[in-house]
Chain A
Amino acid sequence: MRMSAMLSLLICAGVSSAQAPTFNKDVAPILFAQCATCHRPGEAAPFALLKYEDAKKRGKLIAQVTQSKQMPPWKADKSDFAFRNERRLSEAQIATLQKWVAAGMVEGDKNDLPPAPTFASEWALGKPDLVVKMPKAFKVPAEGKDIYRNFAIALNLNDDKWVRAVDFRPSASSVVHHTLFFLDTTGTAAKKEADSGQVGSSGAMGGFRVPKGGLGGLGSLTGSGGGQPGSLGGWALGAQARSLPDGLAWKLPKGSDLILSTHFHPSGKAEMEASTIALYFSDKPPTKRFTGLQLPIAFGFAAGIDIPAGKKDFSIEDSFVLPVDVKAFGISAHAHYIAKTFNVTATLPDKKTKTLLKISDWDFGWQEQYRFQDYVDLPKGTKIDAKITYDNSADNPRNPTNPPRRVRWGKESTDEMGSITLSVIAAQEPEFSELQKGYQQHLIAAIRKFGGKK
C-alpha cells in the first residue's frame, strides 16, 4: 500500500511535472489569503509564510497540518451558512498543498507570484476613537497550566457611548490565546484587583459576573438592548477586528471599566503581557437593538451538568422557539476542557432543518466568535436546538483531571459550562421587546424546572 502510494507519487512527480503546482502560481495565493494574517513578522504565529524559502522550509509540516485540518485553526465544520473571514481551506486547496510538497516544492515562474498581502500597520479598522492599555504588565510564567485572568482598565468616559468595534493587540503574542471584553459599571473588578495588590484577578468570564449558586444574578446574563449587557465581544488568535453589521452597536455606559478576561498559554519562556485595546464608537445610536439568545441559558447553569467520572458521552440540550421573525448575525460557543461537540440547528416552520454551527472536535483554546456572512433569516416559529456533548473519560486527552473526577457546573476551568449564543435582531425592530420577553419566559421556565429537580 505504502509502496504503491509512493510509486504513484513518484510517477506523478516525474511524468506530470508540467502540471505540478508551483509556489508562485498555486501555493502563494493560498498562503497569502489564508495564513499570512498570523504567519508574518510581528504576529502571533511562530514563523512567517510570505516567501518561497519560508514555505519550503516548513513544507512537510504545512502538508501535514493542513491535511489534518489543524491549520488554519478553524473549529467550525462546514454548515449551511457561510461565516465571515473563514480560515478553512477548501479540499482543492489542501490537495494543491499536498501535491506541491510531494512534487518537491517547486518555486515556479516569478511572474506568476501575486503581490504580497498588505496589512494595516497598526489597527486594521483605522484610527480608533479610544486606545487604552493595561496599566501594569502581567507576568506569565514559563510553564504550567493555562491561566485565566481578569484585568480592569478604567475608561474614564463622562458620556455614554455606542461601540461598533473593538480591536486588541497583545504585547506577548506567543502566550495570549484569547480575551473576552466585559464592562463593569460597579467598579467591583477594579476594587478586587486593587485590594489584592496583584495584577489582575482570577476566575473565568470576567470573574465577577457569573452567579455563584444563587439565581438572583441570572437576570444579568440574559439579553437586552445593546447585546448582552456588560459584553463587548472578544478577540481570539487569528481573528480580524470587524465592526458589528448594519450599524449595530454595544452600549458603553459612562463610568464603566473595561474588563479583559484573558486566556494565557505558557510558552516555555516567561513573558510580560500588557495588552492594548482600541475602541471604535458609532457617531449615532443604533436604530436596531440586538441580543444574544443563550442556549442552554446562563452558560448551562440550569442544564444539569453533572458528569460522572469516566462518562464518555454526556450531553445537554436546550431548545427555543422564536416568538417573532429574527435575523441572526453571529454565533459563539462556550464550554471548558471536556466538551467534545456542539451542534446548533434551526428547524424552520416548513420543517426543513439547517445547521447554524457544528463543532466536531471542541477545543477550549479556540473561542471564536463566528459572524455570518449575511443575516440568516429565521422566521417566527423556528425552533433552535443546541446540543453539547462531553467526554469525562481518561481517553479524552484534554481531561484536566487524571484519573477523571465527577464534573459539575462551575466557573473554574476544571468545572464545566456549556452554551451557545446566537446573536440576533428582530426582523421588525418594534417586535424586539416581544423577542426579549419570549426569551425571558424561556429563562424563567428553565430555572423553575431546574429548581424543581434539585
Chain B
Amino acid sequence: MRCCLSLLALLAVGGLHGQEKSTSFSDLNGRSHTPLSQADKKATVLFFLLPDCPVSNAYGPEIKRIAADYEAKKVGAFVVHADPDVTIEAAKKHVKDYGYACPVLLDPTHILVKATGVKMAPEVAVIGPDRKVLYRGRIDDLYVDYGKRRPAPTQRDLRDALDAILQGKAVAAATTKVIGCHLPDPKK
C-alpha cells in the first residue's frame, strides 16, 4: 500500500500526463492561458486556494509578494480555484478582497489538480519549462498544525524551490506536507 502510494507520488512529481500538456484555461477576464506549458517562463507556480479556508486566505499577502518578486525573474503565477462551487463571480470577489494580480483560473473538473497531484489548499505546484512538476507542497512553515501558527515562518519552501530552479539546481525538498483545507471533490 505504502509502496504504491509513493509510486503514485513519484509519477505525479515526475511529469504531467500527456493529455493535459496543452490544456487551455480562460482566466476571469476571458484571457486564455496554458498554465501547464508556459514556453516563455523559467517556471510557473500554481497556487491552489479555497476562498473559505482561513489558512489559505492568511497567505494572501505572501502569495502576492511571491508572484511579484519572481515575475521579473520570468516565473509565471496563477491562482487556481479547484472548488467546483466557486463561480466566476465568487472568484472575482476573492480577487477584489485579497488583491491578487496574477491570472485566476477555475478548475472545477480538477484537470490541474490531477496533473500536479495537489490535495490541499493552500498548496502550490511549480512546473518547469520541460513540464515537470519541480516542487509541490506548502508555501512556508508558518503553520505547524491546525490552529498552531508560528509568529513568522522559519522555512520558506516555495521561495527556496524557486531560487534553486532559477539557479539550475535541484530542489532540496521537492514535496512538503501542507497544513490547510482538503480540496473538495471535482465536478462530475
Chain B positions 60-118 with a Cβ under 8 Å from a chain A Cβ? 60-62, 85, 97-98
In the bound complex, how far is the Cα of B98 from the Cα of A6, in angstroms? 40
CB <8 Å contact, A2 and B1: yes
Q: What's the tally of chain A residues with a CB closer than 8 Å to chain B? A: 31
In the complex, number of A-B residue pairs with CB atoms less than 8 Å apart: 66
Which B residues are in CB contact (< 8 Å) with A64?
146
Evaluate whether A397 and B54 lie within 8 angstroms (CB atoms) in the complex, with A142-B61, A402-B154 already known. Answer: no
Residue A68 CB within 8 A of the other chain:
yes
**3 closest pairs, A vs B, by CB?**
A268-B60, A3-B1, A268-B57
In the bound complex, how far is the Cα of B148 from the Cα of A2, in angstroms? 27
Q: Which residue of A lies closest to B142 (CB)?
A: A397
In the bound complex, how far is the Cα of B50 from the Cα of A47, in angstroms? 11
Binary interface encoding of chain A residues 346-389 relative to chain B, with 1 for a CB under 8 A from any of its CBs, else 0 = 00000000000000000101000000000000000000000000
CB <8 Å contact, A268 and B53: no
Which A residues are in CB contact (< 8 Å) with B164?
none
Report A50 CB to chain B, min CB distance, Å. Answer: 14
Which A residues are in CB contact (< 8 Å) with B147?
70, 73, 363, 365
Chain A positions 298-327 with a Cβ under 8 Å from a chain B Cβ? none
Chain A interface mostly = loop
Chain A positions 47-61 with a Cβ under 8 Å from a chain B Cβ? 47, 57-58, 60-61
Which A residues are in CB contact (< 8 Å) with B182?
58, 60-61
- Residue of A266, A268, A363 with most partner-chain B CB within 10 A: A268
Which A residues are in CB contact (< 8 Å) with B2?
2-3
Residue B150 CB within 8 A of the other chain:
yes
Residue A135 CB within 8 A of the other chain:
no
List residues of chain A with CB under 8 Å of any chain B CB: 2-3, 6, 46-47, 57-58, 60-61, 64-65, 68, 70-71, 73, 142-143, 145, 174, 266-269, 337, 363, 365, 397-400, 402
Chain B positions 118-155 with a Cβ under 8 Å from a chain A Cβ? 144-152, 154
In the bound complex, how far is the Cα of B165 from the Cα of A124, in angstroms? 56
In the bound complex, how far is the Cα of B181 from the Cα of A398, in angstroms? 21
In the bound complex, how far is the Cα of B151 from the Cα of A363, in angstroms? 13
Report B87 CB to chain A, min CB distance, Å. Answer: 15
Which A residues are in CB contact (< 8 Å) with B185?
57
CB <8 Å contact, B150 and A398: yes
Q: Which residue of A lies closest to B184 (CB)?
A: A57
Chain B: interface size category: 20 to 34
Residue B58 CB within 8 A of the other chain:
yes
Residue B25 CB within 8 A of the other chain:
no
List residues of chain B with CB under 8 Å of any chain A CB: 1-2, 52-54, 57-62, 85, 97-98, 144-152, 154, 181-182, 184-185
Report B54 CB to chain A, min CB distance, Å. Answer: 5
Report A265 CB to chain B, min CB distance, Å. Answer: 9
Report B64 CB to chain A, min CB distance, Å. Answer: 9
Q: Besides A61-B181, A68-B146, 4 other CB < 8 A contacts?
A: A46-B52, A73-B147, A268-B58, A402-B152
Report A281 CB to chain B, min CB distance, Å. Answer: 36
CB <8 Å contact, B146 and A65: yes
Which B residues are in CB contact (< 8 Å) with A402?
151-152, 154
Which A residues are in CB contact (< 8 Å) with B1?
2-3, 6
In the bound complex, how far is the Cα of B85 from the Cα of A438, in angstroms? 62
Report A26 CB to chain B, min CB distance, Å. Answer: 21
Report B27 CB to chain A, min CB distance, Å. Answer: 21
CB <8 Å contact, B148 and A398: yes
Which A residues are in CB contact (< 8 Å) with B53?
46
- Residue of A61, A64, A143, A397 with most partner-chain B CB within 10 A: A397
CB <8 Å contact, A268 and B61: yes
In the bound complex, how far is the Cα of B58 from the Cα of A184, in angstroms? 35
CB <8 Å contact, A143 and B61: yes
Evaluate whether A269 and B154 lie within 8 angstroms (CB atoms) in the complex, with A61-B182, A363-B147, A398-B148 already known. Answer: no
CB <8 Å contact, B52 and A47: yes
In the bound complex, how far is the Cα of B144 from the Cα of A68, in angstroms? 13
A-B contact pairs, 16 of them (CB 8 A): A47-B52, A57-B184, A58-B184, A70-B146, A71-B146, A143-B58, A143-B61, A143-B62, A266-B58, A267-B54, A267-B58, A268-B59, A269-B97, A398-B150, A400-B151, A402-B151
Which B residues are in CB contact (< 8 Å) with A398?
148, 150-151
Which A residues are in CB contact (< 8 Å) with B85?
57
Q: Which residue of B lies closest to A146 (CB)?
A: B151
CB <8 Å contact, A397 and B144: yes
Q: Which residue of A lies closest to B144 (CB)?
A: A397
Which B residues are in CB contact (< 8 Å) with A143?
58, 60-62
CB <8 Å contact, A397 and B58: no
Q: Which residue of B lies closest to A142 (CB)?
A: B61
Which A residues are in CB contact (< 8 Å) with B145?
68, 70
CB <8 Å contact, B52 and A397: no
CB <8 Å contact, A268 and B151: no
Which A residues are in CB contact (< 8 Å) with B54?
46, 174, 267
Report A141 CB to chain B, min CB distance, Å. Answer: 9
Q: Which residue of A lies closest to B54 (CB)?
A: A46
Which A residues are in CB contact (< 8 Å) with B148?
363, 397-398
Which A residues are in CB contact (< 8 Å) with B58?
143, 266-268
Which of A68, A70, A142 is close to B60, meaning CB atoms less than 8 Å apart?
Answer: A142
Q: Which residue of B lies closest to A7 (CB)?
A: B1
Which B residues are in CB contact (< 8 Å) with A65?
146
Report B77 CB to chain A, min CB distance, Å. Answer: 17
Which B residues are in CB contact (< 8 Å) with A57?
85, 184-185
In the bound complex, how far is the Cα of B147 from the Cα of A46, in angstroms? 14
Q: Which residue of A lies closest to B4 (CB)?
A: A3
Which A residues are in CB contact (< 8 Å) with B151?
145, 337, 398-400, 402
Which B residues are in CB contact (< 8 Å) with A58?
181-182, 184
